[in-house]
């Protein structure tokens, strides 16, 4: 039963994030004395507690094209990509354990609630990154 609550929490969190993007805050007119380069825009963030795994870019762990992510990007040789659940758009930025990743791939259907870090060819990496983590999703 514990897993079902986490999945429901994940889905509710993504739903709230989607609603938050519909009502974006429009700041009042900024004084002309502030240069536009100093104006920062707050990006909404959602935190999701989920199980994180790792995978290698080899045919045994992917499909026939291990270097091609779902986004069409070449992910071989990169350690900054992650396979995300289908509820997140490709290109989304997530932060896992203090490191930022780009969603360039999709998780397998049976692992919809997970994030799967691309470990390229490092066979020790999947074991090092696996476990429960708080994932910060930056919504844009």
pLDDT (tens digit, 9 = 90+) per residue, 83-138? 999 888 999 999 999 999 999 999 878 888 899 999 988 889 888 999 999 999 98
Residue pLDDT, tens place only, 47-57: 989 999 998 88
Q: Which two tokens stand for residue 98?
A: 């203090």
Contact yes or no for 114/87 (Cβ under 8 A): no
How big is the CA angle at 83 (ends 79 and 85), to the nearest 5 degrees?
Answer: 155
Fold of 2-24+32-138: Barwin-like endoglucanases (2.40.40)
Q: How is the chain split into domains, by residue range?
A: 2-24+32-138
107 burial type by CB count under 10 A (0-12 exposed, 13-18 middle, 19+ buried): buried
> Smallest Cα–Cα separation from 137: which of 37, 70, 52?
52
pTM above 0.75, yes or no: no
Phi, psi of 40 (to 5 degrees): -110, 145
State how far Cα 122 lies from the chain centre. Answer: 21
**Other residues' Cβ atoms within 10 Å of the Cβ of residue 123:** 10
């Amino acid at each position: 039963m514990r897993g079902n609550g986490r999945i429901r929490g994940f889905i509710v969190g993504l739903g709230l994030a989607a609603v938050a993007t519909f009502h974006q805050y429009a700041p009042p007119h900024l004084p002309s004395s502030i240069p536009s380069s100093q104006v920062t825009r707050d990006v909404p963030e959602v935190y999701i507690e989920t199980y994180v795994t790792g995978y290698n870019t080899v045919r045994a762990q992917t499909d026939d094209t291990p270097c091609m992510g779902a986004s069409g990007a070449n992910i071989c040789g990169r350690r900054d990509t992650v396979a995300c659940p289908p509820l997140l758009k490709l290109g989304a930025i997530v932060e896992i354990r203090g490191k930022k990743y780009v969603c360039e791939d999709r998780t397998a259907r049976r692992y919809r609630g997970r994030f799967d870090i691309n470990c390229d060819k490092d066979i020790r990496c999947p074991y090092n990154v696996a476990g429960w983590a708080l994932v910060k999703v930056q919504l844009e």
